[in-house]
């Protein structure tokens, strides 16, 4: 496995002014940006990196250098500068305020927001006049970076320090998120994301976590400018005894174990200052108890239960260990791990059935938030349920099911910036720092 830890640069002068940066190099870190880079280096300090890559632009190089100076306890590689990590190229907009771009280029700005893959800029340079596609070029650049670093032997941990746009493209090309969904994920200043590659680009990859910001003092990523909709916090239930043992539970109603209650309590402490307006849970005991523990600090919020959020039915697999499933159903566990959307659980469900009922419940939650003008809601469910919802949110096939990690007690953040009918934005995924104290997910994966 190759682990890649991706960091966005710290706050820059252009960030504070609300200016389009692109590849302009006139922006540098603010005092806060430098302080946050220092904190990022401290939280990464004990991870043994085999290589460190940075964009050549000043704001990223400064961030990489500050982080590099905090790495201790093992041989620390030097920072390698690469043009593969340059920010998205927006030559006609660089240095302009977002409002100025919207006013001067209204049609292009609308395309940028709604169909970013279709944006074209006509530019003139030494090679003549040509049409430039910022997003399609950026995605090709990201693919080239992955091909470059994944050609090395696996088993390494790599640090990447770059920018919002290229970091989104890196995550998207790894997972297969199309350029049309460029705005569907976000990267905060000094936000940390973790990808685990089993081989080269196109081979199985897992997004372990995305856009962690707790180390810089932001419990959750901040709301984007002009946010007028609502935010959902998607949580996986705490650990059960069957999770710990690695036994498939599915729709057998196994309660939390003591460790699971501790995890739920840590999630409660993590979210205690968040102003929750509403809460939903699967009808099953383990997510319901997790939600009830979290809501102890939100006594005015009543918990609503939705049967569509329950865990996948594994049918005859339920109550069995992997070794027993392999013996009783030869080859089926391998198919589940490699082509999950094609597996029909014996006397149970397939992923399409889980998708239809979980997305149906999700839509019900969206309409509740919209109709009652609510701002922040809690949704507690299960591993498979959450993964199918993440596929839905990012417009991915159910064959991408295993691309997402969901630790027991982990929190993901999904915004609907303009309400229920707007495109969702995955702001953060699988936050587990409140459980482990670090940036890596140390929760037991367990069986579903």
pTM of the shown model? 0.95
How confident is the model at residue 82, as a pLDDT? 98
Burial 131-163 (b: 16+ CB within 10 A, else e): ebbbbeebbebbbebbeebbeeeeebbbbbbbb
Q: What is the mean pLDDT of residues 251-280?
A: 96
Is residue 446 very low, low, confident or very high in pLDDT (cuts 50, 70, 90)?
low
Q: Which residues contact 319 (CB under 8 A, 6 or more apart)?
A: 247, 248, 249, 252
pLDDT in tens, 104-122: 999 999 999 999 999 999 8
Is residue 321 very low, low, confident or very high in pLDDT (cuts 50, 70, 90)?
very high
Q: What is the mean pLDDT of residues 206-233?
A: 93
How confident is the model at residue 123, as a pLDDT? 81
Q: Share the mean pLDDT of the chain.
A: 95
Which token pair is 195? 């990808």
pLDDT in tens, 8-50: 999 999 999 999 999 999 999 999 999 999 999 999 999 999 9
Q: What is the mean pLDDT of residues 77-103?
A: 96
Is residue 153 very low, low, confident or very high in pLDDT (cuts 50, 70, 90)?
confident
Mind telling me the catalytic residues?
A: 237, 311
Q: Annotated binding residues, as ranges?
A: 236-243, 286
How confident is the model at residue 237, as a pLDDT? 97
Q: What share of the chain in percent tops pLDDT 90?
A: 91
Positions of CATH 3.40.50.1240 in the chain: 2-216, 230-436
How confident is the model at residue 448, as a pLDDT? 52
pLDDT in tens, 382-422: 999 999 999 999 999 999 999 999 999 999 999 999 999 99
Q: Annotated binding residues for substrate, as ranges?
A: 236-243, 286
* Residue of 260, 185, 248 whose CA lies nearest to 384: 248
Q: How far is 408 from 142, CA to CA, in rounded Å?
A: 31
How confident is the model at residue 74, as a pLDDT? 76
Q: What is the mean pLDDT of residues 358-373?
A: 97
More confidently predicted of 125 and 447: 125
Note the CATH number of domain 230-436. 3.40.50.1240
Length of the chain: 448
Note the CATH number of domain 2-216. 3.40.50.1240
Q: What is the mean pLDDT of residues 427-444?
A: 91
Is residue 444 very low, low, confident or very high in pLDDT (cuts 50, 70, 90)?
low
How confident is the model at residue 158, as a pLDDT? 97
Which token pair is 447? 């069986």
């Amino acid at each position: 496995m190759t682990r890649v830890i991706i960091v966005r640069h710290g706050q820059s002068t252009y960030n504070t002014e609300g200016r389009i940066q692109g590849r302009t190099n006139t922006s540098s870190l603010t005092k806060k940006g430098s302080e946050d880079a220092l904190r990022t280096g401290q939280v990464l300090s004990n991870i043994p990196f085999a290589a460190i890559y940075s964009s050549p632009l000043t704001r990223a190089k400064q961030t990489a250098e500050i982080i590099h100076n905090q790495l201790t306890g093992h041989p620390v590689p030097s920072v390698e500068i690469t043009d593969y990590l340059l920010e998205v190229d927006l030559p006609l907009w660089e240095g302009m305020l977002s409002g100025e771009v919207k006013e001067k280029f209204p049609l292009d700005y609308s395309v940028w927001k709604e169909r970013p893959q279709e944006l074209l800029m006509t530019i003139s340079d030494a090679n003549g006049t040509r049409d430039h596609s910022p997003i399609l070029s950026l995605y090709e650049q990201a693919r080239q970076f992955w091909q470059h670093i994944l050609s090395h032997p696996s088993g390494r941990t790599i640090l990447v320090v770059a920018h919002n746009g290229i970091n989104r493209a890196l995550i998207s090309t790894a997972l297969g998120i199309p350029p049309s969904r460029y705005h569907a994920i976000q990267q905060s200043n000094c936000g940390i994301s973790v990808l685990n590659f089993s081989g080269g680009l196109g081979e199985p990859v897992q997004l372990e976590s995305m856009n962690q910001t707790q180390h810089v003092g932001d419990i959750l990523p901040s709301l984007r400018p002009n946010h007028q909709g609502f935010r959902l916090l998607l949580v996986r239930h705490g650990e059960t005894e069957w999770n710990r043992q690695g036994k498939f539970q599915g729709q057998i109603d196994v309660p939390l174990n003591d460790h699971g209650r501790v995890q739920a309590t840590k999630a409660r402490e993590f979210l205690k200052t968040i102003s929750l307006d509403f809460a939903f849970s699967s009808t099953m005991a383990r997510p319901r108890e997790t939600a009830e523990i979290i809501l102890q600090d939100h006594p005015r919020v009543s918990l609503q239960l939705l049967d569509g959020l329950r865990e996948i039915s594994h049918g005859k697999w339920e109550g069995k260990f992997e070794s027993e499933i392999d013996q009783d159903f030869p080859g089926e566990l391998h198919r589940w791990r490699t082509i999950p959307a094609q597996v029909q659980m014996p006397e149970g469900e397939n992923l399409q059935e889980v998708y239809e009922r979980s997305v149906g419940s999700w839509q019900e939650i969206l309409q509740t938030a919209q109709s009652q003008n609510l701002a922040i809601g809690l949704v507690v469910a299960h591993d498979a349920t959450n993964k199918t919802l993440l596929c839905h949110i990012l417009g991915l096939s159910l064959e991408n099911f295993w691309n997402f990690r969901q630790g027991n007690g982990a929190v993901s953040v999904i915004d609907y910036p303009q309400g229920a009918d707007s495109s969702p934005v995955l702001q953060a995924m699988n936050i587990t720092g409140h459980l482990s104290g670090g940036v890596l997910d140390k929760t037991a994966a367990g069986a579903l």
